Amino acid sequence: MHRRAQANVELAAEIPPLTDDEGAILALLIRAQPATAYQLLQICAQSPVTNFGTSKGKVYPLIRRLKSKGLVASQPISGDARGSEWLVSTDFGTEAVRCWIRGIKPTHLLPEDAFRTRLQSFHLLSNDEQWDWLSNAETFLKRKLGELLTNPGSFTGPYNDLVRDNAITSIRSRLEWLARIRSRLMREADVAEPVPMLQKSRLRS
Residue 47: band (very low, low, confident or very high) from pLDDT cuts 50, 70, 90: confident
Q: DSSP code of 84? A: -
Span 176-203, mean pLDDT? Answer: 77
H helices of the chain, where?
A: 2-14, 20-32, 37-46, 56-68, 91-102, 106-109, 114-119, 127-150, 160-192, 197-204
* 100: Cα within 13 Å, side-chain hemisphere: 21
Whether residue 9 sits in one domain with residue 29: yes
Whether residue 116 sits in one domain with residue 86: no
Whether residue 199 sits in one domain with residue 141: yes
Residue 15: band (very low, low, confident or very high) from pLDDT cuts 50, 70, 90: confident
Residue 98: band (very low, low, confident or very high) from pLDDT cuts 50, 70, 90: very high
Most confident of 6-15, 63-72, 78-87: 63-72
Dump pLDDT digits (tens) for 185-196: 999 887 766 555
Whether residue 94 sits in one domain with residue 120: no
**Which pairs with CB-CB distance under 8 Å and at least 24 residues apart come from 55-64?**
58/21, 59/25, 62/21, 62/22, 62/25, 63/25, 63/37, 63/87
Whether residue 43 sits in one domain with residue 127: no
Range of the domain at 25: 2-107
